[in-house]
Each structure stands twice: as structure tokens, then as C-alpha cells.
Amino acid sequence: MVNESVNNCRNEAAAIILGAGKGTRMKSDLPKVMMPVHGKPMIKHIIETLTSMKIQKIVTVISADGELVKKEVAPYQTVVQAEQLGTGHAVNCAKSVLNGFDGPVLIVFGDTPLITAKTFQKTIDKIREGFAVVVLGFKPEDPARYGRLVMDGDELTEIVEFKDATDEQKAINFCNSGCMGFDGRYLFEILSRIGNENAAHEYYLTDAVKIARQLGLKCTAIVGDSKEIASANTREELAQLEEFYKDRENW
């Protein structure tokens, strides 16, 4: 049951930024989200986009040694993910701040600095239409090994990891970016049901779609630009983000 004291949150939106990643593959001592794109840390671009939308409840999940990230996102709140136990676990770390919040909640990876306010707003709008989970998808020229989004009309029925996909599902070119939106009324209930019965013993956020549907809730996906949802795990990908940033006006 929704807490009556937070009903006024329905007209607000919140965001959880996942910023606990290391910069190991970047060959840097900096946290990954602090690597610069166009002269600013990647996470700063996300914060600026969210604040331009007047989203005031922004929570960043940081690692135990994430002081640099904490300073960068101030005055917005941070929570610590002491152990990296998967994306579902990371989002659940924000429960202490957002438990009881019943408006739309955006889940943003801190290394995806180019997602536009327009795309974030489309996600929020879908939640307000009645979808409990909204996944940001994209249609790359080469779907490669991305997870596939299985649609039935405007409803998302399943996220299938490439390694688990059938040949028919591998033919789908609608892919998962990782970024999502949730109706805050159901977010932590869904997260509480995600298990870690997998090879890595991690809690995967992608399982949220299956669980939401088991609860009788509706899920959908929206299409973002492939450049817009690009992330960076390596120096080469960081350089590519720089090029995409310069070309934003032509998307």
C-alpha cells in the first residue's frame, strides 16, 4: 500500500545514478564516471541534464572509496554500495533515500553522459501512462551481443541476454541500453524479488521486467538514438563519446 504521506510525490520524478564503477579498463585511478567528456566528468553531464528537467531527487550510488564522485554530485545525495553485487543490488542501495517515493524513478548509468532530457522525459511520460517498468532501447546497425528486447505490441515481454537468445530472438534488432525507468510505487518491491541464482551470483536489474510481469504490471520500451545511449568502458570508447558529443546537434 502506498504511504499516504508521500502521495504528493506523484507529480515529481527522481533519478538514481549508478556511479560505483572503477576506472580499471580506462587505465586510470579516477572512478570511471569521473573521466571527462568535453571537459567535464561524464557524471556531471548527467547531473546537468537532470537538473535542467527540474528533477530534484537525485541519488548517486558510489563505491566505498567514492569521495571524488560524492564531491562532484554535491549537493545531491549519495549512497554507498559496499560490495558490487550487480545492477539490481546497486539500485536497491538507494532504498534508504527513496523508499516511499511514488513518482517515476529514472535509473541511469554514470558512464552514459549523452542521454537527452527529451529521452528521459519520454521515459517519465510512459510511466505516467501506467507502465511500471520502461526500458530505454536502441536499434544499432549491428546488434552484436547486446541483450534483446522482446515486444508484443507496445508491451515489453522479456529482456533476453544474447547468450540465452534463440536464433529467432537474435534476429531482433531492438537492444537493451541498460537504462530504465520505474514507477516508484513498485520499484523496491520488484527489486526485493530479484534473486542471484546465476553464474556470477549477482542481482541483475534486467530481471525486473520478468518480475514486474509476474506481479501483473505492465512494461514497455522506448527507442533512443544509438549515439545518445553510448557508454564508455575503455579509452577508445571515451574518445568515441567525445566525437558523439560534438555531433549532438545533428542527431
Judged by DSSP in three states, 90 sits in helix
The residue from 10, 25, 145, 148 that is catalytic is: 25
Hey, CA dihedral for 180, 123, 106, 7, is it positive or negative? negative
Name, in order, each residue with C-beta under 8 angstroms of 216's C-beta and a sequence gap of 6 or more.
Answer: none
User: Is the CB of residue 19 less than 8 Å from the CB of residue 69?
Assistant: yes
> What is the residue whose three cell numbers read 531492438?
174
25 as an active site residue: the answer is yes
Distance CA 115, CA 179 (A): 10
Cell of 186: 513498485
Residue 201 region, left (φ>0) first, then alpha (ψ -120 to 50), else beta?
left
d(CA 232, CA 111): 6
Separation of first and last alpha carbons in the chain: 43
Neighbouring-strand partners of residue 77? 59
Buried b (16+ CB within 10 A) or exposed e, 2-34: eeeebeebbebbbbbbbbbbebeebeeeebbbb
Catalytic residues: 25
